[in-house]
Amino acid sequence: MENEFDKYILRSNIFRGSVDGMANSIELILGFILEEFNVKLPTTLMLGQKIKKLTQHKNDITPAYSPDFDKLICKLSEFNNIWIITKHGTLVGGLEELTFCKDGRISIFDSNKQMEIRNEFTEIMTELTKIHRNL
């Protein structure tokens, strides 16, 4: 029989895997967009570095993309921070909400925050797909 801590670990692993999958999806479409600008990406390039590369092509992207590009970059950066916390942070057990510690900072991901992350991911992917289609 599973105890509460085992359930907590399972929930955290599911959440971590979900955020990791979202990050991989974002990295993939960022790669497709950057390929349109003949940017050669080493396989070791992390999400944050790809976001920086995307910002270098702001002037090339904005004519084909009407929404606020800076707002999209902000959302991407916020998502990257969440991904770093869940990927490299230490799980803090014994709490109701999923809690991670990274660089001395505690981050809590209750069910509302997790839903917010999923919604932000959907918005990010929708916007990145629009950019890719319009290039």
pLDDT at 77: 98
Average pLDDT, the chain: 91
The residues with which 108 forms a beta bridge, in sequence order, are 99
DSSP 8-state assignment for residue 64 = G
Bigger pLDDT: 54 or 5?
54
Query: Nearest 5°: CA angle at 75, between 45 and 66?
Result: 100
Which of these ranges, 24-28, 90-94, 114-118, has the smallest mean pLDDT?
90-94
pLDDT confidence of 94, banded at 50, 70, 90? low
Bigger pLDDT: 96 or 69?
69
Q: CA–CA separation, 53 vs 23, rounded Å?
A: 16
- pLDDT of 31 higher than 80: yes
Close Cβ partners of 30 (under 8 Å, ≥ 6 residues apart): 47, 50, 51, 53, 54, 128
Q: CA–CA separation, 117 vs 120, rounded Å?
A: 5
Domain that holds residue 17: 4-134
Q: CA–CA separation, 127 vs 113, rounded Å?
A: 21
Chain-centre distance of CA 11, in angstroms? 19
pLDDT confidence of 66, banded at 50, 70, 90? low
Q: Residue 105: enclosing H or E segment and its boundaries?
A: strand 105-109
pLDDT at 64: 66
**Count of structural domains within the chain:** 1
Residue with tokens 């490299």: 88
pLDDT at 43: 79
